Structure 1
Amino acid sequence: MKSTPPPAFVRVSERDLTEIELHSVDSINDLHRTHSEQHSKGVQPPRPPPPSTNGNLQMQDRAFVYQTGQPVRMPCVSRLKDICTSTRRHYFLAFAAIIAFLLTLILIFIFLALQSSVLHTLLEMVKQKQETAEDISQLLQQLHKLHINLTEQRP
């Protein structure tokens, strides 16, 4: 029966250590934030899965680690998770609703301004039409008077 050799230690660079430390701090902050939110609601936070007994990564851990052993950095996903937390989600939804409301008001005012300019143009055209109609009416009255004068002068 052969005994298995002890695992070989790999030298980790300072840069890798810094990345691991930063990731650990982010994870701890996330745990504190989710724990405080759940604790204030009276809900117990889920327990983390126990570490594997043989030292290998468990299936849920593998999605977060490259083959180099460095954690995957997904700033978009973490930012989205931050937005989706309950308090931030309410602020985000309220902000989105206010923006939608303001855009709707702006569109309504633009529509009303356009309608106002169209109504102003139509009013000017109606005034011009009335003035033209009055001028034509006066010309017809003068023409009628001239016609009467001409018919009276003929014997």
Structure 2
Amino acid sequence: MLLFHKAGFSHSGASYTQTKNIEDELLELPERIQKILQIVNRTHLTANQMLYFIMYDIENNKVRTAISKYLEKNGCLRVQKSIFFVETERKVYNQIHSDLKHIQELYDNHDSIFLVPVSTDQVRSMKIIGQSIDFDLIIGSKNTLFF
């Protein structure tokens, strides 16, 4: 029950209800990219630190909102509506995994949640499709020739 409360739910009678109903907020794409790059461009990760994406497909709006708030409270950066980017210690990674697994087991669903570790090189090589943002120029990997 404590884990469900962490996700924004409280127990009342025989059912769980969400304690907060805040709409998902998403920064503008350039701001999200800058935040990802700030994380990636920090000093090298220690052996105890990880970079990873958390992605989910959750049908229930209340559960989805509660999980997104839980992730934000744990320092996860929303990069898309259902995708978060995270830099944490392995201990926190394992705790988030455990909490999300437990929450998902509390209700009947066909949902899925992915935690995908990535390297800084993999993040730097990401490509963006669908926005007029030149990611290569932002990260400084595009060669620019001035005349």
Rg (Cα) greater in structure: 1
Q: Normalising by structure 2, what TM-score?
A: 0.22
Q: Normalising by structure 1, what TM-score?
A: 0.21
Higher relative contact order (CA 8 A, sep 6+): 2
